[in-house]
Amino acid sequence: MSDEHVEGRFIARENRFVAVVEVDGIVGKAHVPNSGRMKELLVTGAPVSLVIKSQEGRKTKYKLASVKYKGIWVSIDSSIPNKLLEQSFLRRELFHFSQYRYIKSEVKKENSRFDFLLKSNENEKLMYVEAKSVTLVENKRALFPDAPTTRGKKHLDELKQIAIEGGEAAVVFIVQRSDAESFAPNWTMDTQFSQALVAAFNSGVKVYAYQCETSFKDIYIKKEIPVLI
């Protein structure tokens, strides 16, 4: 990554998208690029990696990139999964998608918008793909979501309909930390989303999860992990 990173300390979350942080003894504000709760990560005193954002007119000097939790860095930027997947699609690095070529991102289909559109090299069939950012891990199992998400359920319902109509669809969970050995829907947090994921899978939607390797300023997809649904 080319952005300049500095280490700081998390103090408090002012609201969903603004955090109070401390860098070299100076208190400032940082944009939180993730609407999830992340209560286990964003605790007072936690070391954080911050990207310096000095553009004129910004309300915050920094963007909160990652948090150090139990000795590992956890990326909390919810835009990262899309960037990682786009790179992987272009380079044909993921086995399950290697037979597809990347078409474009932010694809509109009727009243829906999906993260990616791919096309099969074999039969020219289109595949619609949604990416989800995962930061919560409990007992080495990644869980999504960490807060109720009606938007997430809507995406799954739309992907399910594509599959029912004979199209190809997939949802990819990018776990932005290195300590997850499997993935499962977070039934305790959001039963409706979890039910929708099972229904989508049973209707033919592909469900994959990938663990990332993270550091103070870098992140990359490391390996696929089992999906338990």
CA-based end-to-end distance of the chain: 34
Least confident interval from 28-37, 55-64, 96-105, 169-178 = 55-64
Section 106-111 average pLDDT: 87
Q: Are residues 92 and 199 in the same domain?
A: yes
**Residue 145 preceded by cis peptide, ω within 30:** yes
What's the gap between Cα 90 and its chain centre?
18
Predicted local distance difference test score (pLDDT) of residue 109: 86
**What percent of the chain has pLDDT above 70?**
98
Q: Is the pLDDT of residue 37 over 80?
A: yes
> How many folded domains does the chain comprise?
2
**Given strand 136-138, what is the order of strands in its sheet?**
136-138, 141-144, 182-185
CB 190 within 8 A of CB 145: yes
What average pLDDT does the segment 34-62 reach?
A: 90
Whole-number pLDDT of residue 56: 62
Confidence class for position 195, pLDDT limits 50, 70, 90: very high
Last residue of a domain, one of 51, 75, 99: 75
User: Do residues 216 and 110 share a domain?
Assistant: yes
Assign residue 49 the CATH number of its domain. Answer: 2.40.50.580
Q: Which helix (H) or strand (E) holds 89?
A: helix 80-91
Whether the predicted pLDDT of 1 surpasses 50: no
Q: Which two tokens stand for residue 99?
A: 């037979």
Mean pLDDT of 15-43: 96
Q: Are residues 36 and 87 both part of a single domain?
A: no
Q: Check residue 3 and give its pLDDT.
A: 79
Judge if pTM exceeds 0.85: yes
**Judgement on whether residues 50 and 99 belong to the same structural domain of the protein:** no
Please give the DSSP secondary-structure letter assigned to residue 143.
E
Question: Is residue 50 within 8 Å of 23, Cβ to Cβ?
Answer: yes
Coil, strand or helix at 160? helix
**What mean pLDDT is predicted for residues 24-49?**
96
**Mean pLDDT for the chain?**
95
Confidence of residue 2 (pLDDT cuts 50, 70, 90): low
- Which residue range forms the structural domain that includes residue 177? 80-225
CATH number of the domain enclosing 179: 3.40.1350.60
Provide the token pair at 162. 């594509």
